[in-house]
Amino acid sequence: MRTQIKIRHIAFIVVFYMTNTYAQEYPTKSVRFVVASGPGGSTDGVSRIIGDKLSEYWLQQIVHDNRPGAGGILAADITARSLADGYTILVGTSAGIAVSVSLYKNLPYNPDKSFSPITIAGIQDYILIAHPNSVKSVEELINISKLKPNSISYSHTGAGTGTHLSGELFKKVSGIHMLSVPYKSIGAALTAVISGEVQLSFCSLYSALLHIKSGRIKPIAVTGIKRSSAIPELPTFKELGFREYESRNWYGFLAPAKTPEHIIMKLNGDIRRALKDPSVKERMIKQGIDPEDSTPEEFSNFIKLEKEKYAKLIKFSNIRIE
């Protein structure tokens, strides 16, 4: 009996030692961040800003594997199919995780079961911009649209994207009708506003800031729950009386499902530490992104609420992509 107890005790010590050794050693090699955007995009920016700081902590290289396409689905699918060992991490957005489940009939992964959330990393508001000679305020936009429905058009980056859903949500809460005009890229959507081809666009702060500073487009309002650090003088739609209007793009880190808990917690702790670093915060704010962090559980609950919100909007707007 004593021999059995001794063996069990030794086995427990070995398992405890090995588990803690692995937790301390991770990562022992380069870590791949699968980025749900092309180089130069805001998601890529988050990946590189956080990755630079993690490389300092870990003394390991971060490989940024840019996989744009299908609203983040391609990057999410690659991550979901990867080994759950902590060496492949998704840097994703609301599109591939919270929106896609309601937008597409068939996904190559299960958004509810294919990932282990690590932490949210940042939130970027969308911004309503206008051609300099177009509407000057939300009030003017509503007045014109009620007098002449669909006389005002807005550009976006395709059905079901954040820029499209921001416009559809505003149409829902305001009761107006605007003409939706899709483009293949945010650059093309912005060019359409600058040239006067369309009057308005809902786009990311990151994409709009340079053009706002140059005077080629006019900012009207931001779509978040509070004013943006990047352009604090601009009011939110909530301030303008639209209390139910909120549209934001979020960025987060997720691992393949069944990634060991000690690795998830190691990643969570180090990414949250990076997000609190003054140099990281400064770089993110310059890109129009407000740094945020969370526990894995908080991030999981947040994703659940986001899925419910987008499901209602997509159903109301009758948006579907086969």
- Over residues 167-179, the mean pLDDT reads 94
Give the pLDDT of residue 168.
92
Q: Is the pLDDT of residue 11 over 80?
A: no
Q: Is the pLDDT of residue 190 over 90?
A: yes
Least reliable range by pLDDT among 8-17, 266-275, 310-319:
8-17
Q: What is the average pLDDT value for the chain, to the nearest integer?
A: 89
Q: Is the pLDDT of residue 183 over 70?
A: yes
Give residue 21's pLDDT band: very low, low, confident or very high (50, 70, 90).
very low
Q: Is the pLDDT of residue 243 over 50?
A: yes
Give residue 16's pLDDT band: very low, low, confident or very high (50, 70, 90).
very low
Give the pLDDT of residue 307.
93
Pairing of strands 200-204, 248-256: unpaired
**Three-state DSSP class for 35?**
strand
CB 199 within 8 A of CB 131: yes
Give the pLDDT of residue 24.
56
**Three-state DSSP class for 297?**
helix
The DSSP 8-state label assigned to residue 161 in this structure reads S
Q: Is the pLDDT of residue 5 over 50?
A: no
Give the pLDDT of residue 23.
47
CB 47 within 8 A of CB 64: yes
Q: Which of 24, 50, 7 is nearest to 287 (CA)?
A: 50
% of the chain at pLDDT higher than 70 = 92
Q: Which of 192, 90, 85 is nearest to 134 (CA)?
A: 192
Domains of the chain: residue spans and CATH: 2-124+249-317 (3.40.190.150), 125-222 (3.40.190.10)
| Dist CA 73 CA 110 (whole Å) | 11
- Over residues 129-143, the mean pLDDT reads 96
- Over residues 37-59, the mean pLDDT reads 93
Give the pLDDT of residue 2.
52
User: pLDDT for 141-164, tens place per residue?
Assistant: 999 999 999 999 999 988 888 889
Q: Is the pLDDT of residue 251 over 80?
A: yes
| Dist CA 79 CA 74 (whole Å) | 9
Q: Which of 116, 86, 90, 101 is nearest to 37 (CA)?
A: 90
**Three-state DSSP class for 69?**
coil
More confident residue, 6 or 306: 306
CB 261 within 8 A of CB 274: no
Question: CB atoms < 10 A from the CB of 51, how many?
Answer: 21
CB 62 within 8 A of CB 308: no
Query: Which stretch of DSSP H or E encloses residue 190?
Result: helix 186-195
User: pLDDT for 119-129, tens place per residue?
Assistant: 999 998 899 99
Q: Is the pLDDT of residue 320 over 90?
A: no
Give the pLDDT of residue 9.
53
